[in-house]
């Protein structure tokens, strides 16, 4: 390493942060009218996929820490997009589900989620997109 200088623009953390900023900006522009944040959309999309989940499980599935998922759930409940119901397997726990309004919103904006991915990956050709997503999955 002697003689090599540290070039910020070549560092993985810097490049990932810049790519994340780009993806987030595209998300916010695309989802502006839906009024959803990336974390809120992740929770709704996962509940649409899973059907129901405890708050803790939903946090793990969406890679959110307990404080973050708690705030996301609170805001989604306030908007009437999710509901809580007793967990039949554990009376101490509740399960979260999409409300009818939440199901309708997910149906309406799922194409937007795919558009965010398309726009974010736009600079890459199809082969590079596939490889890039595979490599990101390995890193995460």
Would the pLDDT of 14 be above 70?
Answer: yes
What is the distance between the alpha carbons of residues 125 and 1, in angstroms, rounded to a whole number? Answer: 34
Whether the CA torsion 66, 67, 70, 72 is positive or negative: it is negative
pLDDT tens-digit profile of 41-68? 999 999 999 999 999 999 999 999 999 9
User: Which is nearest to 84 in space by CA: 93, 72, 97?
Assistant: 97
Structure confidence by residue, pLDDT tens digits, 114-127: 999 999 999 999 99
Mean pLDDT of 96-101: 98
Residue 3 scores a pLDDT above 90: no
CA atoms within 13 A on the CB side of 43: 32
| pLDDT for position 106 | 97
Whether 29 has a pLDDT exceeding 70, the answer reads yes
Q: Give 66's Cβ-side CA count (13 Å radius).
A: 1
d(C-alpha 107, C-alpha 109), whole Å = 6
């Amino acid at each position: 390493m002697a003689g090599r200088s540290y070039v910020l623009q070549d560092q993985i953390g810097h490049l990932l942060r810049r790519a994340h900023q780009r993806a987030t900006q595209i998300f916010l522009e695309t989802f502006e009218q839906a009024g959803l944040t990336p974390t809120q959309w992740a929770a709704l999309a996962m509940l649409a996929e899973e059907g129901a989940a405890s708050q803790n499980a939903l946090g793990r599935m969406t890679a959110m820490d307990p404080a973050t998922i708690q705030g996301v759930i609170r805001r989604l409940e306030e908007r009437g997009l999710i509901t809580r119901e007793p967990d039949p397997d554990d009376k101490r726990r509740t399960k979260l589900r999409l409300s009818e309004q939440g199901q309708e919103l997910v149906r309406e904006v799922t194409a937007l989620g795919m558009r965010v991915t398309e726009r974010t990956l736009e600079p890459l050709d199809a082969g590079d997109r596939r490889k890039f997503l595979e490599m990101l999955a390995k890193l995460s």
